[in-house]
A and B are shown apart, each in its own frame.
Chain A
């Protein structure tokens, strides 16, 4: 049985089912609220959800039973008395150290919890970075949306910020440096001052068995880094578009990546009115379309950056993604074939599989 924790524009949904089949909604929580991201921490079974009320601001909630009572986590706020307020928590990620989780949000902020998500603390190294005054927001705000941990080493993190690029730490967030060499921003003049170029990272993931390798979906580009995010190589050749948001990997294969291209930033729907996932098994040298079972005519879907996740690995890799149409799709055979997992949900913002 696979469980999906799905964040939507109108609440959190928990679905259960077998790979390759339809899933059943077992729980809805936070009815009417925007749930940006939610997941079940496999280490503790605790479910955490980022909920952004338009009235009362962003919060993180946690529970051991999604259909039961939820507790509000403490510490999800910026320093009092400043000029900025926390706008949104985009993502929650399990850390490498016991009990550690990370949360990324707008305005380009990282929080860390060391007690399983009950309390959080702002990462001061990133918050007080001297270059912050030059950071520019992307269309969705100044969002820290990707947090790539390093298997076995809690000191090393890479984070992606739209549009402040990639940031790397090797001392558990005390100090940070940029990791942007090779990224090309096609949306600014080539002679723009480097510090004023907003680097619009859309999604970032690290290969589990070769952690110095990262894959990135950029705002116009798909990239790979083989040196832990120091430098990047464009691997978008062979894709119908280099624009898109989500990214998935096979944990067993460091040469694997899956993307779901959209036409362009000016037309953010699936190309050719068909839904296709693109898979590489050679680190981006070539791409293959995987559309068997996905809508192949008059399909104009938008899949957001957190709305693509996986569980398992190798031939048993399961992939799941949701669209703003409220449709959810899944594959139980590493993308070779797909089925409709659920329909008529509210617009899907995030998917977490377990």
Chain B
């Protein structure tokens, strides 16, 4: 299972834990698994269309990924708010 790492405020919504081991073959699948396991985080990362919100960045082993980016069992997935604005 991939290791998903969260920061505030997502960490508080996901059982007050930073690290989560989750199943999923893509970033989108892993994020949806996170929201299923922690309903309080529902809608915070993935919107109604099933897409990762525009200003959330997901990195797989340090590289910026998207909904369809492949995730392996040994991968590390970091979820961070994007640097937006000027």
Is the beta-carbon distance between B55 and A54 smaller than 8 angstroms? yes
Query: What 1/0 mask marks residues of chain A from 79 to 90 whose CB sits below 8 Å from any chain B CB?
Result: 111111110000
Is the beta-carbon distance between B50 and A80 smaller than 8 angstroms? yes
Given A55-B81, A57-B43: A79 in contact with B53 (beta carbons within 8 A)? no
Given A54-B84, A55-B82, A57-B43: A77 in contact with B53 (beta carbons within 8 A)? no
Residues of chain A lying within 8 A (CB to CB) of residue B85: 54
CB distance from B18 to the nearest CB of A (A): 17
Query: What 1/0 mask marks residues of chain B from 71 to 86 whose CB sits below 8 Å from any chain A CB?
Result: 0000000000110110
CB distance from A176 to the nearest CB of B (A): 22
Query: What 1/0 mask marks residues of chain B from 36 to 76 whose CB sits below 8 Å from any chain A CB?
Result: 00001001110111110101100000000000000000000
* A29, CB-defined interface residue at 8 Å: no
What 9 new A-B contacts, CB under 8 Å, besides A56-B45, A57-B43, A85-B47? A54-B55, A54-B84, A55-B53, A55-B81, A56-B56, A56-B81, A57-B47, A57-B53, A79-B48
Query: What 1/0 mask marks residues of chain A from 254 to 268 whose CB sits below 8 Å from any chain B CB?
Result: 000000000000000
Range of interface residues on B (Cβ < 8 Å): 10 to 19
* A78, CB-defined interface residue at 8 Å: yes
CB distance from B19 to the nearest CB of A (A): 20
A56: contacting residue among B44, B48, B51, CB under 8 A? B44
Range of interface residues on A (Cβ < 8 Å): 10 to 19
Q: Which residue of A lies closest to B9 (CB)?
A: A56
Is the beta-carbon distance between A81 and B43 smaller than 8 angstroms? no
Residue among A57, A77, A80, A83 facing the most chain B CB atoms (10 A cut-off): A57
B: which residues have CB within 8 A of A? 9-10, 40, 43-45, 47-51, 53, 55-56, 81-82, 84-85
Residue among B55, B82, B84 facing the most chain A CB atoms (10 A cut-off): B55
Given A54-B84, A55-B81, A57-B43: A78 in contact with B48 (beta carbons within 8 A)? yes
> How distant is the Cα of A80 from the Cα of B48 in the complex, in angstroms?
5
Is the beta-carbon distance between A85 and B84 smaller than 8 angstroms? no
Residues of chain B lying within 8 A (CB to CB) of residue A81: 48-50
CB distance from B34 to the nearest CB of A (A): 13
Is the beta-carbon distance between A84 and B43 smaller than 8 angstroms? no
Residues of chain A lying within 8 A (CB to CB) of residue B10: 56
CB distance from B25 to the nearest CB of A (A): 20
Q: Which residue of A lies closest to B44 (CB)?
A: A56
| Interface hits, A52-81 → B, CB 8 Å | 54-57, 72, 77-81
Residues of chain A lying within 8 A (CB to CB) of residue B43: 56-57, 77
> How distant is the Cα of A238 from the Cα of B56 in the complex, in angstroms?
49
> How distant is the Cα of A84 from the Cα of B51 in the complex, in angstroms?
10
Q: Which residue of B lies closest to A87 (CB)?
A: B47
B44: contacting residue among A57, A80, A82, A83, CB under 8 A? A57
